[in-house]
Amino acid sequence: MEVSRTTSKELISYAVVKPSNQGKRRGEYFRLYYQKNKQKYLQSKQKYLAKLKANKPKTLPSPFQQTKQEQLLKLLINQKSFVPVPQKLKHPIIKN
């Protein structure tokens, strides 16, 4: 059994290569087409993302946030928890 050493350059030369004209023309066409219509694609992408964001269902606040909101509402509604403080006092005493 013989073991032959081949270099990477030799392996590349064995690979099947497409005709050079076919790949270049096709790639050039797509590159130029995108360059011409780049603004149109960017605008349509922005519209699509805005549409997704608008249609996204709103998430409910977590239970922690809900309780905090309820406590704040109770404080705002309850007038007894706020005591008017005279302006002359430096350190007011707040009841409740």
pLDDT per residue over 24-54, tens digit each? Answer: 667 777 788 888 888 999 999 999 999 999 9
For residue 6, which of 41, 38, 14 has the smallest C-alpha distance? 14
Dist CA 14 CA 17 (whole Å)? 9
Domain boundaries, the chain: 20-56
First to last CA, the chain: 96
3-state secondary structure of 7: coil
* All residues at 6 or more sequence positions from 41 whose CB lies less than 8 Å from its CB, including other chains: 34
Which percentage of the chain shows pLDDT scores above 90? 24
Instruction: Please provide the size of the chain in residues.
Output: 96
